[in-house]
Amino acid sequence: MKKLFNYLAVTLLSVTSLYAQTARYALVPKPVHLEERSGSYTLPAKPTIGVQSTNPDVRRIAQMLADQLAKSTGTTPVVKTGNAGKDISFVSAKGPKLGAEGYMLTVTPKQIVITAEQPQGFFYGVQSLMQLMPAAVFSSAKVDGVTWSVPACTVEDQPRYGYRGSMLDVGRYFYPVPFIKKYIDLLAVHKMNTFHWHLTEDQGWRIEIKKYPELTQKASIRPSTMVGHYRDHKYDNKPYGGFYTQDEVRDIVKYAQDRFITVIPEIEMPGHSVAVLSVHPELGGNLDRMLPVSSTWGVHEQVLFPREETFTFLENVLTEVMALFPSQYIHIGGDECPKIEWKQSKFCQALMKEKGLKDEHELQSYFIQRIDKFVTSKGRRIIGWDEILEGGLSPNATVMSWRGINGGIAAARQNHDVVMSPTTYCYLDYYQADPKTQPVEIGGFLPLEKVYSFNPSVTDSLTADQAKHVLGVQANVWSEYLPTTHYVEYMAYPRLIAIAETAWTPGEAKNFDDFKQRLEAHKKRLDYLNVNYFEAPINKNFEYVWPKQTASK
Cis (ω within 30 of 0) for the bond into 292?
no
CB-CB contact of 61 with 130 (8 Å): no
What's the confidence (pLDDT) of residue 551?
Answer: 32
What's the confidence (pLDDT) of residue 23?
Answer: 79
Q: DSSP code of 460?
A: T
To the nearest whole percent, how much of the chain has pLDDT over 70?
A: 93
CB-CB contact of 23 with 523 (8 Å): no
Q: What are the b/e assignments for 334-350, b being 16+ CB within 10 Å?
A: bbebebebbeebeebee
What's the confidence (pLDDT) of residue 461?
Answer: 87
Give dist(CA 244, CA 260) in Å, integer.
Answer: 22
Reported as a single tens digit per residue, the pLDDT across 45-60 is: 999 999 999 999 999 9
| R_g over Cα of the chain | 25
SS3 assignment, position 327: coil
SS3 assignment, position 324: helix
Dihedral (CA of 352, 358, 359, 364) sign: negative
CA torsion 84-110-133-448 (nearest 10°) is 90
What's the confidence (pLDDT) of residue 142?
Answer: 97
CB-CB contact of 446 with 432 (8 Å): yes
Closest CA to 536 of 455, 450, 477: 450
Give dist(CA 485, CA 328) in Å, integer.
Answer: 28
163-528 carries CATH number 3.20.20.80: yes
CB-CB contact of 225 with 240 (8 Å): yes
Give dist(CA 478, CA 215) in Å, integer.
Answer: 22
Phi, psi of 5 (to 5 degrees): -60, -45
DSSP characters over 388-433: GGTT---TT-EEEE-SSSHHHHHHHHTT--EEE--HHHHBTTSBSS
Closest CA to 57 of 116, 113, 130, 111: 116
Crossing angle of helices 512-528 and 2-24, rounded to 10°: 60
Phi, psi of 526 (to 5 degrees): -60, -35
What architecture (CATH level 2) is domain 24-157?
A: 2-Layer Sandwich (3.30)
Dihedral (CA of 418, 422, 425, 430) sign: positive
**Residue type for 32, please?**
V
CA torsion 291-294-299-300 (nearest 10°) is -10
Closest CA to 63 of 49, 43, 42: 49
- Residues lower than pLDDT 70 in the chain: 1-22, 84, 537-553
Closest CA to 275 of 249, 234, 304: 304
| Bridging pattern class, strands 221-222 and 240-241 | antiparallel
- Same topology, domains 24-157 and 163-528? Answer is no
Residue extents of the structural domains in the chain: 24-157, 163-528
What's the confidence (pLDDT) of residue 380?
Answer: 98
Dihedral (CA of 13, 14, 16, 17) sign: positive
